[in-house]
Amino acid sequence: MDKKDILSKLPYSKPFLFVDKIIKINENGVEGEYTFDAALDFYKGHFKDNPVTPGVILIEVMAQIGLVCLGIFLLNDKLNSNSLIALASAEIEFLKPVFPNQKVTVISQKIYFRFGKLKCKVSMQNEKKETVCSGTISGMMI
């Protein structure tokens, strides 16, 4: 399965698609990018006159790239239109803010994939290669 196939199977569309590019992917992990467009609706109110990307959106970016893209890759032929990939848990530490128009890179390493549950160690870096947030995310592949 190539990178374009994975992107086409993502169960999201704009404005809730937070994957621009998969840099690399294999059975042990994935690396991908996303740039936060300043026109995204949540910036209008978070925070007034000083927009910052909400933490829940940062977790969503890490989940879409680091968990869902990897899950699609790992499931490959077993994935069909009825398949669901749902977030089960996230334990994330936030270290730096992410502002509008910033590009981030998500790096995910598989901890395990068994009995339909995928757990990954994930980190997000800004363009200066500084860690923005990191932790673990797990999801169920049904």
Tell which wins on pLDDT, 75 or 127: 127
Q: Would the pLDDT of 2 be above 90?
A: no
Domain locations in the chain? 3-141
**Domain 3-141's class?**
alpha beta
Q: Please state, as a whole number, how many other Cβ atoms lie within 10 Å of the Cβ of residue 53.
A: 20
Let me know how many helices (H) and strands (E) the chain has, helices first. 3, 6
Residue of 3, 21, 46, 119 marked catalytic: 46
For the stretch 4-46, pLDDT in tens is 999 999 999 999 999 999 999 999 999 999 999 999 999 998 8
Question: With bands split at pLDDT 50, 70 and 90, how would you rate the model's confidence at 81?
Answer: low
pTM > 0.85: yes
User: Is 65 among the catalytic positions?
Assistant: no
